[in-house]
Chain A
């Protein structure tokens, strides 16, 4: 159903000029604000950055303990829950001599790849992880030069991230 609301146009509406003047006023106001009060909406990006919320979901990382051993125990929960199917884990047993933790960290990922081009940054992996190993940092600058670089391997994931990045 269409509702037609007709509006009575006065003489001043019909000659448009007052409306034009109002339009000009809007832009000159914005001009003044941006130029003299520095209230521009955009920022000088690489130098200035926006502050995102603490819960922002950006580039993944895997948390490590004091010995730089990853907390991940290859339980495959994240790989299972991932809706984009972009996590590939190959598990193996941690050699006894490298494992001062005993039963706690018997299993480890031999490979842990995340295809960032497929990832939809839903954060389910982070939710699913029983070890709080995989996390999403706040880094949103993820541009890479080659496709290969966008597949994050274990070395990349274990990089040092302070807080949530």
Chain B
């Protein structure tokens, strides 16, 4: 894992001191709220419906046990004993007090963490595949790239006051677990015909009001040109991206309105000019970054003779994935207990996850954009013990990838921008399908819920997407179908009129029944049926009255 250099340490401490000063200036009135707001946002501090919210970066989702323990400490000391893991591999605390935030940031700096640029119109926390360094299909670990981008984008003098937020994701695998096509810039590590490392660069993806998939702007970018090239994209965006309308200010709109070919031309010419000033990266710095992501020292192969009971068996089936070392496994800890708030963990649960990482799993944890926690390097011989301890902590729900493994944004229970609740909808769906055997029969299914058009819950790329809206003063939920956030990405299509709060869960049930009726064999997934048959059978299930009417006609 990446360890802070003296430079990182000094930088983060300096930022904490700076923010402490800004809070003081706000409290004594020398900064107005208008001026303070972007400064607090740049340090991850929002004002939500009922309180402030502090969003902390978990860079590319990677952390160690000590850092996870510090989250638990922060939750107990300054918050209300729990935290919420988000779809951008961050953690949010929902109840900090303004005067306490500098101390919370100091406590983060003590474990080499920060909350910089987790909000505001700047380059946000860079995300990466949560199976990095462990996946069987990985070409190269994306985290050195993500760390390089983290450093380059931190306090960048040009790109801290952009027209809108800017998100970058990196993957190093064939199978895209980082949803790179839904990011302002998506990077995929590839090799050219001669085996030289580089990137495929996508630009202009994003969800929100106008969902779009990223387009390829450069098929192969040599590795050493990454920073000048990304800098050129950001420059073009900063200078000619729209600023007249918040909903048209993301780079996806610029790419859409200008056309990818013209964007490519502008980026390439800016890139050529930039090369003269900045033609790559200090090799020494980059070598150190690369070295810090070397694989842990895996233990030697041994004979596995595990005793497996039914509970463990079913948990291994769903929550444990193959590791590139066959005697290792990747464990996903579900933060989607039946009826729980997706992504929430108590301080006790955080401490247990930290202990498991330290004792059994090379002291590494990951946060996934699907709001779960991952132990990326687990010797298989420890699986039974890990399962037992997770079970005691209420963390052994065997539902990864199934109907109750729902992504949900905070929605109107916390978020000031929300137009409807999302968490209780997730809770109710999960309670409706509580029976794990039934979930396993339904098979892989991604339900994603957002509480407003901003789409933090990625509803457009859910197999079933749910968007909460305010229709004439009442919560109303719109369904999209057939979305997909992987390498076969697609944007879900709107099914039809929305549903009231108490109608949405039955509507989801009808969708699932329709799927079960129409699948040709047990292994055909929801998404496969949708792609084979189109929306008609699902619409018929959602709107039986309309169906009855048209049959009568």
The judgment on whether A and B are partners is: no
